[in-house]
């Protein structure tokens, strides 16, 4: 029996015991499937806080937080199971995970141990859920992601390894229809525990779906798919029913929180539809992402905060070749990706969202010319039909935003998006103006 679909449930979908129980009817149809689970919502954040405390040598504070989390999970066990053997197993499971975490308070803390601690959230949620199914006599197996999910030396999925190993593991359980596994966690090139970065469970689901060539990858959250604007800032947003892979990738990358930006790619390469579904409204069709593109003047708007802009000015740039290469090499040396670029003959502006090396990058750039840095910027991305032979769309956007200072504009890079840079203080206003003028 082939695996038909991957169903990934995010942190809020397993966020409490009612929500966990509510997943049962969703996964018990006759399709053979992989169920990818995140950690219960809030858990990974708590684990990050604990590792931060351990890095800062605040061992006592870390122990307090570990015990608080342990108590919360014992309560989850109490609420989740109704029979004695499963209650007992549940409490033992929680203690074994928290004893393990607690052990790290006794040692010098390293990156390796941090990753091992962060993995506990998904290891716990999947075990709890697997045991819940067992208690209900629903057959399922728990396939450890650490047995097949792996990244290479550049941190990219090692597809060859993953495909070989997941298929080998699945052969052992050929008669099982429900296969549960952890999102987010993996091994690195040394075989150590690692992860696919925050929010990475979506990415796990997409990678698994791609290597198994399933019919559909489903990402279940608590909202019915991509909205045409950010519902946290704008009223009357609407669900977008269909998106192309390219459009979804732009929206995910430029701020729409619903999907991890990297997760579009594995599905796109194998042309596997991705469906975003809502666990609170399972009958809602959600958003379907495919290679099909239904062109609309404007489809959606998203915003990405935490952007820094660097403006470099140099007369040496005038009619020179090789200048941009020198600029880019500096970003490369600090492994910092560039998002937006805009150039004139003697100046160039670039944005980055990872400001870890901002001051070093600025310092190195000063060797090339004068450099200005501004933080607290936001990229607004408008997804729609911006093929360069068309007229009319760009002016409408600028007209809508004529009261907002636009600090950079990126047009012509992609046929399906325009990006603008603004001060973060103007974000809410900009999103509202765009909704009012483009969608209402
Ligand atoms: N639990 C991980 C996180 O919070 C992965 C995920 O939820 O996708 O980042
Ligand atoms: Mg997520």
What pLDDT, in 10s, does the model give residues 79-89?
999 999 999 99
pLDDT of residue 92: 98
From the alpha carbon of 41, which atom of ligand 1 is closest? Answer: 4
Which pLDDT score, from 0 to 100, does residue 291 have?
96
CA of 200 to the centre of ligand 2 (A): 7
- The pLDDT score that the predictor gives to residue 316 is 82
Asked if 409 and 420 touch (Cβ cutoff 8 Å), the reply is yes
pLDDT computed for residue 254 by the predictor: 86
What parts of the chain have a pLDDT lower than 70?
A: none
Q: What dotted CATH number matches 5-221?
A: 3.40.1160.10
Provide the CB-side half-sphere exposure for 199 (13 A, CA).
12
Residues 100 and 103: their CA atoms lie apart, in Å, by 5
Which H/E stretch holds residue 117?
helix 111-118
Q: Which of 113, 115, 181, 105 lies closest to 144 in space, CA to CA?
A: 181
Domain boundaries, the chain: 5-221, 299-438
Instruction: Assess contact for 66 and 102: CB atoms under 8 A.
Output: yes
* Count, residues in the chain: 440
Q: Determine which residue's CA is closest to atom 8 belonging to ligand 1.
A: 199
Between CA 293 and CA 267 the distance in angstroms is: 15
CATH 3.40.50.300 fits 299-438, yes or no: no
3-state SS, residue 31: coil
- Backbone φ and ψ for 421, nearest 5 degrees, come out as -110, 130
pTM above 0.85, yes or no: yes
What tens digit of pLDDT does each residue of 174-231 get?
A: 888 999 999 999 999 999 999 999 999 999 999 999 999 999 999 999 999 999 999 8
Do 5-221 and 299-438 have matching folds? no
Among the bound ligands, the one closest to the CA of 43:
1
Residue-level pLDDT at 71:
98
Q: Which atom of ligand 1 is nearest to the CA of 38?
A: 7
- Nearest C-alpha neighbor of 114 from the set 200, 195, 184: 195
Closest CA to ligand 1's atom 6: 199
In the prediction, which pLDDT does 294 show? 86
**Residue 318 confidence (pLDDT):** 77
128 sits in which H/E element = helix 120-135
201 Cβ closer than 6 Å to some ligand 1 atom? yes
Q: How far is CA 64 from CA 26, 50, 71, in A?
A: 37, 9, 11
Contacts of 253 (CB under 8 A, 6+ apart): 261, 304, 381
What CA–CA distance (Å, rounded) separates 260 from 249? Answer: 9
Q: Rounded to the nearest whole angstrom, what is the distance from the C-alpha of residue 32 to the centroid of ligand 2?
A: 24
Q: For ligand 1, pick from 44, 145, 258 the residue to mutate: most ligand atoms within 8 Å of CB.
A: 44
Would you state the pLDDT for residue 60?
93
């Amino acid at each position: 029996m082939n695996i038909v679909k991957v169903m990934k449930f995010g942190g809020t979908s397993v966020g409490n015991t009612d929500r966990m129980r509510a997943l049962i009817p969703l996964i018990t149809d006759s399709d053979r499937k992989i169920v990818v689970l995140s950690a219960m919502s809030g858990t990974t954040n708590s684990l990050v806080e604990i590792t931060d405390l351990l890095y800062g040598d605040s061992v006592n504070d870390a122990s307090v937080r570990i015990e608080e989390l342990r108590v919360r999970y014992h309560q989850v066990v109490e609420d989740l199971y109704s029979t004695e053997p499963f209650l007992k197993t549940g409490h033992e499971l929680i203690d074994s995970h928290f004893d393990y975490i607690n052990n790290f308070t006794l040692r010098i803390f390293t990156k390796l141990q941090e990753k091992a601690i962060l993995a506990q959230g998904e290891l716990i949620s999947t075990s709890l859920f697997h045991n819940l199914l067992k208690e209900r006599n629903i057959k399922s197996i728990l396939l450890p992601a650490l047995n097949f999910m792996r990244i290479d030396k550049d941190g990219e999925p090692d597809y060859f390894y993953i495909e070989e190993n997941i298929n080998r593991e699945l052969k052992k359980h050929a008669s099982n229809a429900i296969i549960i596994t952890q999102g987010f966690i993996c091994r690195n090139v040394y075989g150590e525990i690692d992860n696919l970065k925050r929010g990475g469970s979506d990415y796990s689901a997409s990678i698994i779906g791609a290597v198994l060539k399933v019919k559909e990858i489903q990402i279940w959250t608590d909202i019915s798919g991509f909205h045409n604007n950010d519902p946290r800032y704008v009223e009357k947003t609407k669900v977008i029913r269909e998106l192309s892979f390219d459009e979804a990738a732009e929206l995910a990358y430029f701020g729409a929180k619903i999907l991890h930006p990297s997760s579009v790619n594995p599905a796109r390469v194998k042309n596997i539809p991705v469906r975003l579904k809502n666990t609170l409204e399972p009958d809602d069709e959600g958003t379907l992402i495919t290679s099909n593109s239904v062109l609309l003047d404007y489809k959606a708007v998203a915003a990405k905060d935490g952007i820094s802009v660097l403006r470099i000015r140099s007369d040496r740039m005038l009619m020179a070749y090789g200048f941009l290469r020198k600029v880019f090499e500096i970003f490369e040396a600090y492994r910092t990706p560039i998002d937006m670029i805009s150039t004139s003959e003697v100046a160039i502006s670039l944005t980055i969202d990872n400001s870890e090396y901002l001051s070093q990058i600025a310092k190195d750039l000063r060797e090339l010319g004068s450099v200005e840095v501004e933080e607290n910027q936001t990229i607004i991305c408008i997804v729609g039909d911006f093929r360069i032979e068309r007229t009319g769309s760009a002016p409408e956007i600028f007209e809508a935003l004529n009261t907002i200072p636009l600090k950079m504009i990126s047009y012509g890079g992609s046929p399906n998006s325009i990006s603008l840079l603004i001060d973060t203080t103007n974000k809410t206003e900009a999103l509202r103006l765009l909704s009012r003028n483009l969608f209402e």
